[in-house]
Structure 1
């Protein structure tokens, strides 16, 4: 199975109605994908998995990486992106406050002189 339904699912049941193989089952009020029936829409008239294409949340049905390294990089890249943004944040913060400190020093030098 290459797709699974995540916690972002809003239980609209749209995926269940568009699945050509009937692989999406209900477990109480939460849908799940039966791996025995799911074909990822391969061999049907659809070019993309219909559970993913029809999901109104865009993340209610996601592809599960099958390869160890694919899964590792899918975790790694978002973490690096967060770190990069934080570095930009701290650099901006430093530049802003160092400029303010410099301005205050200049004011005091003019007041003393």
Structure 2
């Protein structure tokens, strides 16, 4: 699995300077990791991928998997984590849903009468 630069990258180019294989390149004024050169720093003196370890944002570099379900669950867990940061989200959603449902139910009852 290789790493990929995300939209959270702030273009500090720190990862480019620490990559032991030179896999991080500038393409169209954006950083890009060449999947043919990226080795995840395996078989090197480093125990963790240097692009991830040096990233000041923490999420500017993420591991890309080829497994469909692993990608799906990673995306799902990331979205749920965002929703859980808003504690009243589900309560507000339920209130709005209940209100709209009762409005539709009243309209239907009036049409049947």
Q: Common fold, TM-score beyond 0.5?
A: yes
Task: For residues 62-102 of structure 1, give each alpha carbon's deviation from its aligned partner in whole angstroms, at most 9, with x where no partner exists.
Answer: 11122111011112223444279423x44xx9xxxxxxxxx
Look up the SS of the partner of 2:69 in the other structure. helix
- Residues 41/80 of structure 1: CA separation in 2 closer, same or farther (3 Å cut): same
Q: CA RMSD in A?
A: 2.3
Look up the SS of the partner of 1:43 in the other structure. coil
1:6 aligns with 6
Distance 1:31 1:76 in 2: 26
TM-score by length of 2: 0.69
1:111 aligns with none
Aligned residues: 91
- Structure with higher Rg: it is 1
Distance 1:80 1:30 in 2: 29
TM-score by length of 1: 0.69
